[in-house]
Every structure is written in structure tokens, then in C-alpha cells.
Amino acid sequence: MKRLPAPRTLRGQLTAGLVALLALACLAVGITTAVALRGFLMGRLDEQLAASSGRFAASLEHEARPDGDNGPDTRGQADATFGARLLNGQVTQAAVIDDDTDRAVPLTSEDKHALTTIPVNGNGHTIHLSDLGRYRVAAVDGDDGDIMITGLPLHPVEETAHRLEAVEAVLFTAALLATGIAGAVWVRASLRPLQRVTARAAEVADLPLASGEVAMPSPLPDTDPRTEVGQVGHALNHMLGHVEDALTRRQAVEERLRRFAADASHELRTPVANIRGHAELALRHQASVPPPVHHALERIDAESRRMTRIVDDLLLLARLDAGRPLERTPVDLTLLILNAAEDARAAGPTHRWILDLPEEPVTVPGDAHRLQQAIGNLLANARTHTPSGTQVTVALTTEREHACLEVSDNGPGIPADIRPEIFGRFVRADTARSRNTGSTGLGLAIVDAVITAHHGTVTLDSSDSHTTVRLELPLRDSSVD
């Protein structure tokens, strides 16, 4: 037999438990009252048997009653009264009163055996007669050494008991249904504060706690320490207070770091530009500059250019972190990919560059300059960190409401230990990489920041033999909706 599934919610469990306890109580009450009523009726029946004193059974052996009539004495005997006479362990006569007259009762061997085994003590005993059904009988000694058995039917007792059981079943079923409905309403009302706690916890869970300034919801009003729900609400309010304080402190630290990065980057641009300008000026007079000094000037010029790129990247990241709005104009993503691929092919002629673009241009809302920079960083990253001869595939598709750009290569994959943080800042696959490659560890961080600012997503799939970076950009500007 298949078991019914147990309720999963606390409300369902409490309601089911309440109904189950009431059902057990009703069952106990029903069994007790049925047994008590049956015992009471059986006692009354035994009293009637004791009062008859075997009079009807004794009259079976006499041919005439005191009033001169022939036949057994049925006066004062209830209808369906049974009488039997036993002599020397044998049933000699058996009759039952039917409409104030007696009629002989046919007995089987089992019936006779049951009658002969009744103790002769005047107490009631229950037997089953084939022709009459269940009877309560009592046996007493007769005047002539015989045994007189008188019996009354158990049908009225059983009918009354069954009627009580049916009434109790109907009443208890109605009570269980009413209790189940009322209990469900009562439990629901009692658990309403707990539902508010759950809703508040879910509201906090949906907040963007990872970054940015977060406005925490108002405290819960259900904080009565005398109740379990109030204790949970008080604990949740206390926890939310700590979380809000920690988020406020973190936001203040992040703001100071952003301001420092922006100010430092801005202030560094001028001296770096001056160093680069003086190095370029000195390099124009090669004749008067010894070879060692010329080489040093070339290194100064290269490093100043590299520092300029780092400063520009840091300043861009600081602006994106600060949430400064980008331009929102229609951008031909196909054209940006073509331009970036042409630049990448010129910078990496030993790589195989494959474009898989749709026939129709794909347009997205955004900042063309920043998107061009993100795509260029992806292609430069694929070119810089893979050996010559590597195949790099750039594919552009549209799926539902997004434009999907995938840059894949069949070169050595990204080490597994840095894949989870590959879009972080200053993350490099090889920390001992030569500075000549120009890697700053900011390329993919800028890609992630630019795409996120465009309400898109960036994902990475890498193994030992391939790497795929997937960009998804919305085809429509969600800020307009």
C-alpha cells in the first residue's frame, strides 16, 4: 500500500499533527464509550436472565401451565427468549418465544455441544445458535436433576452498539474536518510572524551584497522574547544590524580606494607624459648620445608607454567602479569585430585568425570606444598568451535578446588554479612572465568591467587544449524600458 506523502511545511506538519492527535482522542473516546455501552447492556441482559431464573426452560417439561392451558409457560417472557432443558448431558427440549407462543428450535450438533458446555452457575455466557444467531444464556439446576438454560438475543445489544459507533463515526469525522480547517486557519495566523521573518530573510538574500551601497530593509516588528518567533525575529534584526554596519564600513573603504585609484591615476598621467616626452626628445639626437645612453632612453620610452597604459586602465576601472554612465548609442558590433581582428592580424601575423560573422550587422546599445577596447583586449589576450600557429576563432551570433561574441583558441588553456579569478585585477597566468609582452593583468578585468557596465555577462571555458571567452550583450537598452 502506497503511503501518503508527509507534509513538508511547518504549517502542514502542525495541522496534520493536530488532526492526528484529535483523531487518536476520538478513537480512544469511541472505543471506550462503545465498550462501556456494550458492557452496560450486557449487564442489563444478565440481570434479566437472572430474574427469569430459568422459568421458561422449566415450563418446557410440563404439559400444562398453572392456568390450565397446555404448553410451556410464556407469561412475562420477552419475545425471542430461548429456553432449553438438558438431562444427563443431552438436550431434550429447545424452544424460543415467537409472538407470545413457543416454537421448537432445530439444533445442530455444534449447537448442542455449545449448550452442554455452559457452566451451571447462573452467570451469562455468549453462544451462537445456528438458527437464532448470537444469544446470551445462563444455566441453572432444575428440580428433577436436569439443567435449565434460558437465553436472550444479543441482536438488540449489538444493534445499539453499532448505532452508537455509526453516530460517533459521523460526528468524529465532522469534528476532524472542522478541526482540520479551523486548525489550518489558526496555524496560518499563528505562523504569520514567521512568514514575515522568512520574507525578510529572502529579501535580504536577493540584495546585491557583493558590491555597491546596499540599503537594508527595516527591522522586523515581531521581537517578543516570550515567543519562539519573536526570538527568531530579534536574532534576525540583530544579525541584519551587524550586516548593515559591515556593509557600510566596506562601502566606505571601497569609496576611499576608488577615490585614491582615480586621483593617483589622474595625477600620474602628467609626470608619465613628461617622462615620455623627454625620452622622445632625447632620442631625436642620436648622434650625440652614446649607445648605452641611447638604449637606456629607449627603455625609458618603452616603460613610460607601458606605464601610460597602466594608468589609463586604472583610471578606466576607477571610473567604471564609481558607476559613471557610459555613452548609449547604437554600436555596430560587427564592424568593431572586423576592426579589432584586422589590428590583431597585423600584430600577430603568425596566428591563424578566423571570423564567423552573420551576414547582417548586429547592433547593440552602448559605448563604441569601450566595447572596441574590450574586444581588442580579448584578441590581444588570445594572441599574447598562445604560441605561433595557434588558431583564434571569433564568432558572433544572436540568441533571443542577446548578442553573443565568442573568442576561442586551441592554444594551451588557462591554469585551473587561476580560472575562478581570471577576471580579477592584476591576475596573470604566469607571474614570472617577461615584461616585454606588456601584460599588466588588467586586460580581462577591463573586459569584465566594460561588459558588466553594459548589463552583459562574461564567462570562461578553458581546458588544457582550448580557451573560450563568451560575451553576452543585450540587443535592447534596458534603461529605456
**Whether residue 18 is found in the same domain as residue 53:** yes
Q: Give 429's pLDDT tier (boundaries 50, 70, 90).
A: low
In angstroms, the CA 312 to CA 264 distance is: 11
Residue 470 has pLDDT above 70, yes or no: yes
**Same domain assignment for residues 307 and 338:** no
- Report pLDDT for 241: 79
State the pLDDT confidence band at 430, using cuts at 50, 70 and 90: low
Whether 247 and 393 share a structural domain:
no
140, 54 in Cβ contact below 8 A? Answer: yes
Report pLDDT digits (tens) over 291-306. 777 778 778 777 777 7
Residue 457: strand, helix, or coil: strand
Please report the pLDDT score of residue 260 as a whole number: 66
Same domain, yes or no: 333 and 304 = no
Q: Are residues 173 and 38 in the same domain?
A: yes
pLDDT band of residue 64 (cuts 50, 70, 90) is very low
Compute CA 143 distance to the chain's CA centroid, rounded to the nearest angstrom.
83
Set of cell numbers at residue 472: 553576452
Shared-domain flag, residues 293 and 340: no
Residue 258's pLDDT band (cuts 50, 70, 90): low
Q: Is 33 buried (19+), middle (13-18) or exposed (0-12) by CB count in 10 A? A: middle
Q: Which of 309, 324, 339 is the last residue of a domain?
A: 324
pLDDT for residue 15 = 82
Integer Cα distance of 438 and 445 in angstroms: 15
Tell me, yes or no, whether 377 and 278 share the same domain. Answer: no
Concatenating the DSSP letter of every residue in 333-363 gives: HHHHHHHHHHHHHHH-TTSEEEEE--SS--E
Q: What is the CATH number of the domain that holds 250?
A: 1.10.287
384 burial class (0-12, 13-18, 19+ CB within 10 angstroms)? Answer: middle
pLDDT band at 205 (very low <50, low <70, confident <90, very high): confident
Give the pLDDT score at 50.
Answer: 82
Helix (H) or strand (E) holding 265: helix 228-283
Return the pLDDT at 404.
92
The pLDDT of residue 200 is 77
Per the document, the length of the chain is 481
Rounded distance between C-alpha atoms, residue 218 and residue 240, angstroms: 9
Do residues 409 and 442 share a domain? yes
- What is the CA angle 204-210-211, rounded to 5? 110
Q: Which domain holds residue 415?
A: 325-474
Average confidence (pLDDT) over 457-471: 88
How confident is the model over 344-386, as pLDDT tens digits?
899 889 999 999 988 888 899 988 888 988 898 889 888 888 8
Q: Is residue 402 part of a domain?
A: yes
Residues 223 and 281 in one domain: yes
Q: Do both 223 and 179 map to the same domain? A: no
Last residue within a domain, chosen from 308, 324, 340? 324
Query: Cβ(392)–Cβ(408) under 8 Å?
Result: yes
383 in any annotated domain: yes
Based on DSSP, count helices (H) and strands (E) in the chain, helices before strands. 10, 13
User: Both 315 and 248 in a single domain?
Assistant: yes
Q: Return the H-helix or E-strand segment holding 101.
A: strand 101-104
d(CA 314, CA 261): 7
pLDDT (tens digit, 9 = 90+) per residue, 117-175?
899 888 888 899 988 899 999 888 887 778 888 888 988 888 988 999 899 899 988 98
In this structure, the strands spanning 391-399 and 352-356 are parallel
The residue ranking higher by pLDDT, 195 or 260, is: 195
Can you tell me the mean pLDDT for 77-100?
84
Are the CB atoms for 91 and 85 separated by under 8 Å? yes
Mean local confidence (pLDDT), 188-207:
76
Question: Are 383 and 392 within 8 A, CB to CB?
Answer: yes
- The pLDDT of residue 65 is 47
Average confidence (pLDDT) over 329-353: 90
- Final residue of a domain: which of 190, 219, 234? 190
Q: Does the structure show a pLDDT above 60 at 4? A: no
- Residue at 214 is within a domain: yes
Using the predicted structure, report yes or no on whether residue 276 has a pLDDT greater than 80. no
| Range from 12-16, 141-145, 307-311, 456-460 carrying the lowest mean pLDDT | 307-311
Specify whether 227 is located in the same domain as 366: no
The pLDDT assigned to 428 comes to: 67
334 found inside a domain: yes
Question: Within a domain: residue 195?
Answer: no
Per-residue pLDDT of 91-120, as tens digits, reads 888 888 887 677 888 889 898 888 888 998
pLDDT of amino acid 436? 45
* Mean pLDDT in residue range 61-66: 50
Name which of 93, 126, 121 is nearest 107 in CA terms. Answer: 93
317, 267, 303, 307: which is closest to 425 by C-alpha?
317
Is 354 a member of any domain?
A: yes
Residue whose entry in the numeric block shows the C-alpha cell 595625477: 267
- Give how far Cα 221 sits from Cα of 200, 213, 225, 230, 395, Å: 11, 25, 12, 9, 55
* pLDDT above 60: residue 218: yes
Partners of 82 in the beta sheet? Answer: 96, 151
Cα separation, 437 vs 441, in Å, equals: 11
Give me the number of domains the chain comprises. 3
Cα distance between residue 68 and residue 77, in whole Å:
18
Instruction: Tell me, yes or no, whether 480 lies in a domain.
Output: no
Q: Which of 344, 44, 322, 10 is nearest to 195 (CA)?
A: 10
Does residue 259 sit within a domain?
yes
Q: Which residue has the higher pLDDT, 85 or 214?
A: 85
